[in-house]
Amino acid sequence: MFGFLRGSSCDRRYRQVYATVCSSLRERHGFRLLPFVSYEAVWLHCLAVDLGVVPAPDANTVTCCKAQRRHSPLSNSYSELPGQASQHLGSSGLSVGLNAMLEFDLALTVLLIRTKLDDDVRDRRSIVARALRRLYRRAWQQSEGFFDALDAGFMHRLERILSKHLEQEQSGRAEPRHQVRLQEYCRPTGAAFAEVFQLAPQAIAARMNQSVGPTLADRFKEAGEQIGRALIAFDCAVDYDTDRRRGEFNPLPDRHAIIDALSYSQQQLCQLGFQIDQWVAERGETGAPMSTAVLKTVVGKIGLYKEGFAKSRKQRIADRQRIWLSPPRLQRGICDCDCLCCCCDAGEGACASEGCIGTMHCCPCDPCCGYCMDCERDQSRKKKPNGNVNQGGAANHAQGGQLPTLGRASENFPGHAIARTDLTPYGTIALDQGAGGAQEYPAKTDRGSIEAGSRVRVIGREPFGFLVRLAEENKN
């Protein structure tokens, strides 16, 4: 569950939102919950920014929650339940909405932590999970009180939805021959995320003493449903071997279904990405949405998982050993994306394409990959060997947003591509262009559906992905 919607550490705006949520979690609950920062909550905050519910981060907002100075908007505010008038959050309505959204982000983070710990206790009888559940008991009580004040029937509805998920697992264990279809297995998780996400605009409206429009609530609900389905399908795929080894339930019948589950996850994310682009366009916005940038990053990451699962287990072990046993000087060219940005001395500006799926840490300012301007201000920790401050990273970072949205592979557009998933009508394609052909990009068809493996013709491009049509040679 944790880390699925992890965005690119090269996106400064995303790092600002991440640092704001992370520092707010520290402000409200201390250091104990910091290892469990929810990327789903961070993505939800990005969606709220894209839909104009909360303001975007200022240019001076820090990008690192390791900075010594307190920078959470909640540091000078009081925690109040939804619907209570606030006299401490400033006169600006946007400030009130931002603080309300952050309170919701923290409640969602604690809710996801509690759900994960409950699963570990129920499935594995984990002693560590029991201890952590007791340790976070106070945070859970605050989160539960937040949701109860927002919607008295929310927790009951959520428990009822999760019980359906447990019934599917129990029936699958009791009757192994009765195969639970992946789409059916993903439905309760999608419904649970939909219930949670649709409360986000309601929390902001309650704090501002306003009403929520049905269209806005439906959009958050739709986004939550597709995120939930994509997340659980991805978990089923990557946890297949572990579940089989531990004797736990997994709806996938065999290893051949792993690729199908990953493709289904990509389809859900692609559909959501194109829909968000449409919602943003209706508001008259022209900038690139943060939420869709994260979705493109995750779609590419899942494509790499598919490529990895296509290899034999013996080949995957050999690849890892080759990297681990190589001298450090030979590892500096190894990267998990087409832009070859991480540890290749190219700077952050070279990896600003959406293909870069580098790991997002609390502060991605390691010596080989990135430059943290906020850490530099606090501790002057980023210096070259000769003692001069490295300013190149910050300059490259500022220029990153000017690179092509879909990376170098889109320079020869239009052209032909291969459908990597069924396009119904949303899915992914791989461009027929050298090294970029291995990377998957979001796409949709303008008519009908296209089977995976078919050759398609790129006929257009939208902010989130490509518009394709079945190639002529496939029609013969």
Span 187-203, pLDDT tens digits? 999 999 999 999 999 99
Is residue 357 predicted with pLDDT exceeding 80?
no
In the block, tokens 């262009």 appear at 433
Percent of the chain with pLDDT over 90: 40
Within this chain, do residues 244 and 258 fall inside the same structural domain, yes or no? Answer: no
Q: Does residue 299 belong to any structural domain of this protein?
A: no
Per-residue model confidence (pLDDT) at position 416: 86
Across 30-39, 111-120, 236-245, 320-329, least confident range? 320-329
Tell me: the pLDDT tens digits for 413-453? 558 899 999 999 999 999 865 444 568 899 999 888 999 99
User: Pick the residue with more confidence: 473 or 363?
Assistant: 473
Cα distance between residue 45 and residue 39, in whole Å: 10
Confidence at 377, pLDDT banded by 50, 70, 90: very low
Kindly report whether the peptide bond that precedes residue 73 is cis, defined as omega within 30 degrees of 0: no
Q: Does residue 304 belong to any structural domain of this protein?
A: no
Q: Does residue 142 belong to any structural domain of this protein?
A: yes
Within this chain, do residues 450 and 469 fall inside the same structural domain, yes or no? Answer: yes
User: Pick the residue with more confidence: 134 or 76?
Assistant: 134
In the block, tokens 């906020």 appear at 374
Within this chain, do residues 378 and 281 fall inside the same structural domain, yes or no? Answer: no
Cα distance between residue 256 and residue 191, in whole Å: 27
Residue of 369, 415, 413 lying closest to 393 (CA atoms): 369
CA distances from 170 to 161, 165, 189 (A): 15, 9, 16
Q: Does residue 397 belong to any structural domain of this protein?
A: yes
Q: Around 211, how many Cα atoms within 13 Å sit in the side-chain half-sphere?
A: 3
Per-residue model confidence (pLDDT) at position 50: 94
Within this chain, do residues 260 and 249 fall inside the same structural domain, yes or no? Answer: no
In the block, tokens 């993505």 appear at 43
User: Pick the residue with more confidence: 79 or 149?
Assistant: 149
Within this chain, do residues 381 and 424 fall inside the same structural domain, yes or no? Answer: no
Is residue 93 predicted with pLDDT exceeding 90?
no
Q: Does residue 186 belong to any structural domain of this protein?
A: yes
Q: What is the mean pLDDT of the chain?
A: 77
Cα distance between residue 415 and residue 457, in whole Å: 6
Within this chain, do residues 278 and 188 fall inside the same structural domain, yes or no? Answer: no
Structural domains in the chain (count): 3
Confidence at 76, pLDDT banded by 50, 70, 90: low
Within this chain, do residues 321 and 450 fall inside the same structural domain, yes or no? Answer: no
234 and 185 Cβ atoms separated by less than 8 Å: no
Last residue in a domain, options 253, 276, 299: 253
Q: Does residue 160 belong to any structural domain of this protein?
A: yes
Sign of the four-CA dihedral 316, 318, 321, 326: negative
Residue of 197, 203, 188, 356 lying closest to 272 (CA atoms): 197
Cα distance between residue 371 and residue 386, in whole Å: 17
Greatest mean pLDDT among 68-72, 117-121, 296-300: 296-300
Confidence at 90, pLDDT banded by 50, 70, 90: very low
Longest dimension (CA), the chain: 70
Within this chain, do residues 389 and 474 fall inside the same structural domain, yes or no? Answer: no
Within this chain, do residues 101 and 153 fall inside the same structural domain, yes or no? Answer: yes
Residue 149 tokens read as 């004040």
CA distances from 61 to 45, 58, 255, 256 (A): 15, 5, 45, 46
Is residue 8 predicted with pLDDT exceeding 50?
yes
Within this chain, do residues 19 and 152 fall inside the same structural domain, yes or no? Answer: yes
Confidence at 219, pLDDT banded by 50, 70, 90: very high
Within this chain, do residues 68 and 132 fall inside the same structural domain, yes or no? Answer: yes
Q: Report strand pairing: 455-461 vs 440-445.
A: unpaired
Per-residue model confidence (pLDDT) at position 398: 35
Confidence at 307, pLDDT banded by 50, 70, 90: confident
Domain span at residue 66 reads 12-253
Last residue in a domain, options 402, 418, 442: 402
Per-residue model confidence (pLDDT) at position 169: 84
Q: Does residue 284 belong to any structural domain of this protein?
A: yes
Within this chain, do residues 427 and 342 fall inside the same structural domain, yes or no? Answer: no
Per-residue model confidence (pLDDT) at position 355: 36
pTM over 0.85: no
Please name every residue paired with 431 in a beta bridge, in sequence order, or none if there are none: 417
Long-range CB contacts (< 8 A, 24+ apart) of 342-350?
342/368, 342/369, 343/368, 343/369, 347/371, 347/392, 347/393, 347/396, 348/10, 348/393, 348/396, 348/397, 348/400, 349/395, 349/396, 349/397, 349/399, 349/400, 349/403, 350/396
Cα distance between residue 318 and residue 315, in whole Å: 5
User: Pick the residue with more confidence: 322 or 361?
Assistant: 322
Last residue in a domain, options 253, 268, 299: 253
Cα distance between residue 155 and residue 138, in whole Å: 17
Q: What is the mean pLDDT of residues 5-9?
A: 89
Residue 459 tokens read as 């006929």
User: Pick the residue with more confidence: 411 or 366?
Assistant: 411
Q: Does residue 376 belong to any structural domain of this protein?
A: yes
User: Pick the residue with more confidence: 432 or 209?
Assistant: 209
Question: Residue 465 belongs to a domain with what CATH number?
Answer: 2.40.50.140
Which amino acid is present at 140?
W
